[in-house]
Structure 1
Amino acid sequence: MLNSNALITVDTYSRAARIPNPSQDPMDKAEVEFAINSASDYMETETGRTFLSGSIETETFIGQGCNVRYEYVHKSYTLQQVPITNIPSIPVLYKDNNGTWDAVDATTYTYDAVTGELYFHSTNGSFFLEGVRYKVDYYSGYNGRANIPGDLQMGTALMTKFIMMSIKHAGVTQTTFGEKTHSYDLSEIPILVQKVVKKYTR
């Protein structure tokens, strides 16, 4: 059975790996599902991300204030999990008031759902005060596997294939069929998987 955080389906894997769909054989399907779950966990662990929408996220940070000398004003903060969703609620910003979290007026700030940037409107003069703790409660993630970007799905599929190969060819470096020899290099994660991980790491 696929876990709730599985980034691809068995069908997606079979098409990416160019193999017959293993769904007809319970044992083959179970093996592929195990590999998909492991690959999905790997992608989330390595990127520090949760890709499918669901649970609430909470982030805290310290305000940097305003430095007139360097013309710096801390007016924005980039959230770690994207895309941001507005279901069941939009992001809520709080300010630490001597141990009590007070909600910041929601009309003074907004956010970019794609980049994860939470920022104060430029016209109201608000900014994150220096040394003050802030907290953001928000929901994030892609709404269903169908909305996960293609490169992330492909990276997960390749990682799944790598895991499958590691299981089937543990300790084997090459196989021979007639006059043809196929070599296996299972010592390193595929380069494309590494590139996808790098792209989605926040």
Structure 2
Amino acid sequence: MIGASSLRETPDHDGPERRINVVQGEYQVTTDPGVVLTTLLGSCVAACMRDPVAGVGGMNHFLLPGDDREGDTESLRYGVHSMELLVNGLLRAGARRDRLEGKLFGGARLLRGLTDIGELNSTFAEGFFQREGIRLVGGSLRGEHGRRVQYWHATGRARQMALGNDAAAVFDAERRRSKPTPAPASDGALELF
């Protein structure tokens, strides 16, 4: 289910740190200081947010920005919905909106000649932070390489590792880690271009 919270845990080492992978269309919120949130990004964007006072943080991973116009139900599958789920999850876990801070990663342009989805995602995410009054304290958007991102919400530390030039490998890795996107409900209407 798109937007569903993920909980894929794999031990990072013998210590107390646990790794939770956040894949396309998912988000995760945690209060456990021993958790590192991770994701793999191409043109997708991940928002890493936290309330440093409440000790709660999270990450999302969205594929398309969507459209935040009222009544646009298609946008609920992507950036707008993903950001709202993350913010609301943080607030439910004890965060305060006025203390939220975050970092944005991803938005690469991996394929020339097609719509630059990475740019659209990056612009959307920056605009969302600005409109919602969330303090942007770092990150890395745009560029031409995929990224592997790790985020420690307890300290606000993030680590980014650039992936090679092989866009196909990034797409394949992301696809293997993500759930298939369900087809939108159809009312039987057909739109021709």
TM-score normalized by structure 1? 0.23
Larger Rg: 1
Between structures 1 and 2, the one with greater helix share: 1
The higher-RCO structure (CA 8 Å, 6+ apart) is 1
TM-score normalized by structure 2? 0.24
